[in-house]
Amino acid sequence: MAFELPEATTVARQMHAVLQGKRIGSARLHAESASLIRQGFINLHGVSLAREAVREVASKGKWIFVHLESGLTLCIALESGGTILYHAGNETLPYRFHVLLGFTDGNLLSVRVLEER
């Protein structure tokens, strides 16, 4: 089942409430991201997200847009089985993720674009 408009709207609203004003300390790609990078689904090459602050999170259609203070925008479109999870600093991270954003307050956001079938 694909990520649909109502879910994108709800998740964007929840993300905005939690992430607005948070500053990114690090961005990490999991080794599993290699094929998605080659296909153009993940493109963080040459972009530094360190010290970027989240200005706003919004949705349009099935897409979630994380607007940063510098004008950069992270675009997230989840496919079948994809997840976006927020982790308090002391929580165990999921074994499988594609992108992991670490915030300067010690909390994390993991994004898994899709599940393998």
The token pair at 116 is: 């393998």
Residue 38 pLDDT exceeds 60: no
Give me the number of domains the chain comprises.
Answer: 1
Q: Is residue 23 part of a domain?
A: yes
Is residue 102 assigned to a domain?
Answer: yes
| CATH assignment at residue 58 | 3.20.190.10
- Per residue in 41-80, pLDDT (tens digit) is 556 656 778 899 999 999 998 889 999 999 988 888 877 6
Where in the sequence is the domain holding 54, given as residue range(s)? Answer: 5-112
Helix H, strand E, coil C: the string for the chain is CCCCHHHHHHHHHHHHHHHCCCEEEEEEECHHHHHHHHCCCCCCCCCCCCCCEEEEEEEECCEEEEEECCCCEEEECCCCCCEEEEECCCCCCCCCCCEEEEECCCCEEEEECCCCC
Q: Which residue has the higher pLDDT, 40 or 100?
A: 100
Who contacts 74 (Cβ-Cβ below 8 Å, separation ≥6)? 49, 65, 66, 68
In a domain, 117, yes or no: no
Note the pTM of the prediction, 2 decimals: 0.85
**78 near 9, Cβ under 8 Å?**
no
pLDDT class for 37, splitting at 50, 70, 90?
low
Q: Is residue 34 part of a domain?
A: yes
How many CB atoms within 10 Å of residue 14? 13
Average pLDDT estimate for 92-98:
82
